[in-house]
Structure 1
Amino acid sequence: MIRVASSTLYTQGLSSMNSQQSALLHVQQQLGTGRRVLSPSDDPVAASRALGVSLAGSVNGQYATSRKQADATLGLSESTLQTVTTTVQNIQTLLVNAGNGTMSDNDRATLATALQGQYDQLFGLANADDGNGNYLFAGLQSSTVPFTKNAAGGAVYQGDTGHQLLQVDVARQMQAGNNGAEVFQSVTANAGYVLTGNSANTGTGTFSSVSASDPTNPLYGHSFTLNFAPNGAGRMQYTITDTTTGTQVVPATDYNEGVAISAGGVTFSVKGAPANGDTMSIKPAQQAGGDMFTNLQNVINALKQPLTDETANANLQNVLATGIRQFSNSLDNVLTVRSSIGSRMQELDSLDTIGTNRDLTNQATLSSLTDLDYAAAISEYYQRSTALQGAQQSFMQIQGMNLFRFL
């Protein structure tokens, strides 16, 4: 006969109740939290996968934050450039009005004052910030004022040509803005040519707009200088020199007012009576100067000068024609930048949609790994509760099984 000590019976009973109590408590915690995996030991594989999914969700959330920051900066830039567009269009209107031959010196001085107001407005827009002291058009030097004025009153760019890049998705870094040099001091690659007169000209020659007659010409893209000089018989002639190579591309040719002049794939015409030694420059827009502030200041200075004779009037007309072409190029450049900003903002919307779908996928995966099946958990709860009650009743019966009851 095997004899079992009373202490063994008590120990086994207590162990059984503790085990059942622990199992019941675990189910209660699952029901309370709604999670099946409360610790890695519950399901090591699921816990490991859930950790990876959670980390992926956190990274995706950081991408979403970067997209919001990029969208806010781009939105402010677009709003500012919309005003810049209006300002440039106002400048163009004033430049066209300035070409009115019936204006007096006072009228032109008034126009110069109006253009100075547009200059100041443009200068302020170029130095716009986001409200937190970060300048929109300073490149990577966001805490530096992009444009300042030198001793002569001209605008000087203080920022850099870099771009702030934000990681807006797994494999996508995006420019959060554009620097001032590419907005206010540049032109597009297809801006064509700009004709410029020489302020020292003594004749009355004025030029027309220049057009690209043959972009396939091997000299297209070079700079040229048009020189006027009379021949031995006193007949006015012109030559054209390729200043890029230093060679003459058009020999001495008789000048005829209004007749097309061509060189290197570009065509224009000249009216009036050029004088001996007068010159005109024909340059690609990128080399002719794309700085809005410098170009506008040149026009303002010219309008402030009184017109004393036909030569001064011709020089002014050439300055205005150059200014009109330059600001047409500047407007195209601003619109191109705005188009780029719009494309980036549209891309951010698409990436937001992708990020939202990725979040939903991560949440579904995480739910399948760690969320509780309530039906199964409730069923287990009742099973554990019944088992605990049975263990408690068994312990009570064992507690009564001793010889001391019969003494």
Structure 2
Amino acid sequence: MRISTSSFYEQNTLAMGLQQQNLFNVQQRLSAGTKFLTAGDDPVGAARVLGVAQTLAESAQYATSRERATLSLKREETALDSTTVILQNIKTLTVQAGNGTLSDADRVSLATAIQSNLDQLVGVANSDDGNGQFLFAGYKSASPPFAAQAGGGVQYVGDQGQRLMQVDVARQLSTSDDGRTVFQSVQGGAGYVTSGAAANTGTAVFGAVSVVDATAANYSKDFTISFAAGNYTVSTNDTPPVVAASGAFTAGSPIAFGGLQISMTGTPANGDTFNVTTAKNAGTDVFATIGELVTALRTPLTGGGAAAQAKLQNALSTANVKVTNAHDNVLTVLSSVGSRMNEVDALDDGGASRVLMDKSYMSSIEDLDPASAISEFYQRQTSLQATQMTFAKLASISLFNYL
């Protein structure tokens, strides 16, 4: 077959151009360290890489969310640690205030110390995260959750919203607790709270309430113990009330009712009443409890006799139980924070393992084998050089060389 000179040059130019293009492609893949440069080189592989890259991007976002969640939980943990220390200090001061040798001035000094702790507690309850977001405000995190009232006391002005953060594919984690849950709640297992009526004039002082039969008919109800003519009557706070127990009062002897038991010393006056109430109905606001304790300690006993002393002892006992319940509640919330932090750590470990597997899979799809690529490079380079030399040799042939 006759091949024209132009066809010869065209075919060889095209062949060398194709070999140069293939060589350049290998050079680019070596430089980039990847098996393919465009989706057209390997459509299936490119699609797989794109999917894995999206998964890795999501994993990175979850890791960032977990980091932020851990930071928020650590800040709450710090605030709750401070809260437990303050409440423990108040409990210690309350016990000291029960010393019968203290004077009115001594009790005022203790009241001042407790008030200082109360102010600190309000400050902790209004802690923020350093960016103007208050830890215990719920969704209303732009303003302090606890506000002092003009007539005294502290009011919660936040809400009970839970700020959730997506920390994994199928897990939303609460990164905060609202102030009402932390500072104005008690646990379901909190004990009964006993308190004396403000109008009591006798010298009766109550002891601790103990549970003797949790299956009793009236157990878990609220009760009122009233005294008249040396007798006591225990009634439920139902409507209408139900008499749970009655009898002659003997100082120091237990009074049993509704699966509970309580002892009293001293002599109650006619008309004196005492409330034995479940913790959730006895007032769960720790700020109000501490405020009432401060008021009781600042009330002089001089001239009040044994009745005033009994009223103070009862007030201290009530406050001690309520503060203890509040302290236990904060410890429970603190335990919950610790559990959530442990969960975030576990999710971090799992996330890191998934990222490692995804990166390994992506590497198997797109990463270039340097040894085979270099070998291919030298093969194509040699082939191109051979083609060029052959073309140059053939192009120089002429009949004039044989004349």
Identify the TM-score tier after normalising by the shorter chain. over 0.9
Aligned residue in 1 for 2:231: 237
Say whether residues 1:228 and 2:262 are aligned partners.
Answer: no
Aligned residue in 1 for 2:369: 373
**How far apart are 1:4 and its partner, in Å?**
2.7
**How far apart are 1:245 and its partner, in Å?**
4.6
Whether the 8 Å contact between 1:9 and 1:398 is mirrored in structure 2 is no
Two-structure CA RMSD over aligned residues (Å) = 1.7
**How far apart are 1:330 and its partner, in Å?**
1.1
Whether the 8 Å contact between 2:245 and 2:256 is mirrored in structure 1 is no
Aligned residue in 2 for 1:332: 328
Question: In the TM superposition, what are the counterparts of 1:202-213 in structure 2 within 5 Å?
Answer: 202-213=201-212
- Residue number among 235, 245, 250 corresponding to 1:256 in the alignment: 250
The secondary structure found in structure 2 opposite 1:281 is strand
Aligned residue in 2 for 1:94: 93
- Residue number among 358, 378, 383 corresponding to 1:387 in the alignment: 383
**How far apart are 1:131 and its partner, in Å?**
1.0
- Residue number among 320, 334, 352 corresponding to 1:356 in the alignment: 352
> Are the structure 2 counterparts of residues 94 and 9 from structure 1 closer, same or farther at C-alpha, using a change threshold of 3 Å?
same
Whole-Å Cα distance in 2 between the matches of residues 213 and 280 of structure 1?
20
Whole-Å Cα distance in 1 between the matches of residues 236 and 162 of structure 2?
36
- Residue number among 279, 282, 305 corresponding to 1:285 in the alignment: 279
What are structure 2's unaligned runs of at least 5 residues?
none
**How far apart are 1:150 and its partner, in Å?**
1.1
Whole-Å Cα distance in 2 between the matches of residues 378 and 15 of structure 1?
24
Deviations 1:329-382 (A, max 9, x none): 111111111111111111211111111111110111011010001111111101
**How far apart are 1:178 and its partner, in Å?**
1.3
Whole-Å Cα distance in 2 between the matches of residues 168 and 284 of structure 1?
38
- Residue number among 284, 293, 297 corresponding to 1:303 in the alignment: 297
Whole-Å Cα distance in 2 between the matches of residues 344 and 28 of structure 1?
51
**How far apart are 1:144 and its partner, in Å?**
1.8
Aligned residue in 2 for 1:149: 148
**How far apart are 1:125 and its partner, in Å?**
0.6
Whole-Å Cα distance in 1 between the matches of residues 329 and 48 of structure 2?
50
**How far apart are 1:246 and its partner, in Å?**
3.0
Question: In the TM superposition, what are the counterparts of 1:56-205 in structure 2 within 5 Å?
Answer: 56-205=55-204
Whether the 8 Å contact between 2:244 and 2:258 is mirrored in structure 1 is no
The secondary structure found in structure 1 opposite 2:242 is strand
Whether the 8 Å contact between 1:13 and 1:394 is mirrored in structure 2 is no
Whole-Å Cα distance in 2 between the matches of residues 179 and 404 of structure 1?
102
The secondary structure found in structure 2 opposite 1:167 is strand
**How far apart are 1:247 and its partner, in Å?**
2.6
**Identity between Structure 1 and Structure 2 (%):** 46
Whole-Å Cα distance in 2 between the matches of residues 355 and 190 of structure 1?
37
Aligned residue in 2 for 1:233: none
Whether the 8 Å contact between 1:146 and 1:180 is mirrored in structure 2 is yes
Tell me the TM-score normalized by structure 1.
Answer: 0.94
Say whether residues 1:341 and 2:337 are aligned partners.
Answer: yes
**How far apart are 1:219 and its partner, in Å?**
2.0
The secondary structure found in structure 2 opposite 1:269 is strand
**How far apart are 1:398 and its partner, in Å?**
4.5
Whether the 8 Å contact between 1:249 and 1:263 is mirrored in structure 2 is no
Whole-Å Cα distance in 2 between the matches of residues 251 and 182 of structure 1?
35
Deviations 1:196-241 (A, max 9, x none): 11111121111111122212223221111111112xxxxx111111
Question: In the TM superposition, what are the counterparts of 1:256-275 in structure 2 within 5 Å?
Answer: 256-275=250-269
Whether the 8 Å contact between 2:218 and 2:244 is mirrored in structure 1 is no
Aligned residue in 1 for 2:7: 8
Amino acid at match of 1:294: A
**How far apart are 1:392 and its partner, in Å?**
2.0
Segment drifting more, 93-102 vs 137-146: 137-146
Tell me which stretches of 4 or more aligned residues in structure 1 moved more than 3 Å. Answer: 397-407
Whole-Å Cα distance in 2 between the matches of residues 24 and 262 of structure 1?
98
Say whether residues 1:247 and 2:241 are aligned partners.
Answer: yes
